[in-house]
Amino acid sequence: MLQRSRHLLEPVEKCWQSLRWQTGRYHERVLLQHYTIYMPWLQLERDALWYSKGAAILKFKRLADGSLGENVLLTLRGHADDVGRFVCKNGLVVSGGNDGSLCIWTATQGLSVHNRWHCNSKAINSVDYSNNIVVTGSQDRTVKVWTLNGGSSSLRYTIPIWDRVCSVALHESNRILLTGSAGCNGIEPLQAFDLSSGSRVAILGTNHRNGAGVLHVYPESPTEVLSCGYDTFIRLWDMRCPTRCVSSWEDPHDSAVYCLATDHNVTVLSGTSRYGVVRLWDKRMTSPVKPPTKCSSLLSFKDSLWK
C-alpha cells in the first residue's frame, strides 16, 4: 500500500478521514469517462494508473492532487478483441485477451516484448506473472503455465480444470498456483497447484454450492489467501488448514463480488456487480466500515487502495 500511495496521512488527517468515513461525507470526482460500455481492469501505482479500454491498455500519470493527467502516457495495443485481464509486474505488462492471445510489453516505454496468438482456444479471463513464469486461465477450461525466454515463450504444462476458469494467481513465496473457477458440475471452485509440477496440492473449502464460482483470488500473506465470487462472500483462507475459511464477510445487498484489493493488513476493498458499488471492509469487523458508495465510473480494480 505504501508503494501505491501519493501521500501518507498524518495522525490528525487520519482522524478526519475516519470521521468522514463514518458519516459518509465524501466528494465524488470523475477521473475517466467513456461512452461505450466496457468492463475495464485497473491497476494503481504510485505515479500511474493502468486502465484497459476495449482492446487497448492505457497508462495515465497520477498528479499530486489525486487526479489524472489529461494526456495518455502509453497506449498498449496488440489484441484483436477486448482485454480480459492484465497485470503489471517487474517492469512488464502481461495481458490476456478475449481473442485467446497473450501480449507482453515493457512498462516504461510500451515496447512489444512478445505476442502469442491463440495460446488458448477461448477468451483468457485471467493472467499472472512472476520470475519469467506466465499463467493464463481461460474459458476453454484450462490453466496454462508458460516460460518466457527473451522474446519467445514455451508451454511448460497445461492443467485441465474442466470448468470455466475465472481467476489465477501465483503465490510466489510458496511456489503455488491458485485457480478460481465457475464452480459448476461438481468442480471445486478454488484449488491450489504446485507450480513446479502442476499437481494439485489442496482444495480450499468443502460442500460448495453449484455455481458458487470464484471470480477473484489473491494472496494475502505467505500462508493466507483472499477470494470472492458469485456466492456474495469475501473469504479468507489459511493454506495450512484449507478445508474451512478463517473468516468471511457477506455483501449486505447479496451482490456477487467481482474483485477485491487489500493493504495486506486489515483493510479490504470490494467491487460488486450491482450499481457500481465499492465497499470498504475492516477484517476485524463483520459489516462494511461505511454505507455503500456509488462509484459509477469504477467497474473493476486491482491493487487499488487509494486515498
Domain boundaries, the chain: 161-307
The CA distances from residue 76 to 36, 43, 56, 90, 112, in Å, are: 19, 14, 6, 17, 8
**187: its cell numbers:** 468442480
CA angle at 292 for the pair 286 and 298, rounded to the nearest 5°: 120
pLDDT value for 221 = 93
Distance CA 278, CA 296 (A): 9
Residue 148: pLDDT band by 50, 70, 90 thresholds?
very high
Per-chain mean pLDDT for the chain: 89
Does domain 161-307 fall under CATH 3.20.10.10? My reply is no
Of the listed ranges 12-16, 102-106, 133-137, 191-195, the one predicted with least confidence: 12-16
For the stretch 63-106, pLDDT in tens is: 988 789 989 999 999 999 999 999 999 999 999 999 999 999 99
SS3 of the chain: CHHHCCCCCCHHHHHHHHHHHHHCCCCCCCCCCCCCCCCCCEEECCCEEEEEECCEEEEEEECCCCCEEEEEEEEEECCCCCEEEEEEECCEEEEEECCCCEEEEECCCCCEEEEECCCCCCCEEEEEEECCEEEEEECCCEEEEEEEECCEEEEEEEEECCCCEEEEEEEHHHCEEEEEECCCCCCCCEEEEECCCCCEEEECCCCCCCCCCEEEEEECCCCEEEEEECCCEEEEEECCCCCCCCEEEECCCCCCEEEEEECCCCEEEEEECCCCEEEEEECCCCCCCCCCEECCCCCCCCCCCCC
Residue 291: pLDDT band by 50, 70, 90 thresholds?
low
How are strands ordered across the β-sheet holding 165-171?
A: 165-171, 176-181, 190-194, 200-203
Residue 300: pLDDT band by 50, 70, 90 thresholds?
very low
User: What is the model's pTM?
Assistant: 0.86
pLDDT value for 25 = 75
Q: In the predicted model, is pLDDT for residue 225 greater than 90?
A: yes
For the stretch 101-127, pLDDT in tens is: 999 999 999 999 999 999 999 999 999
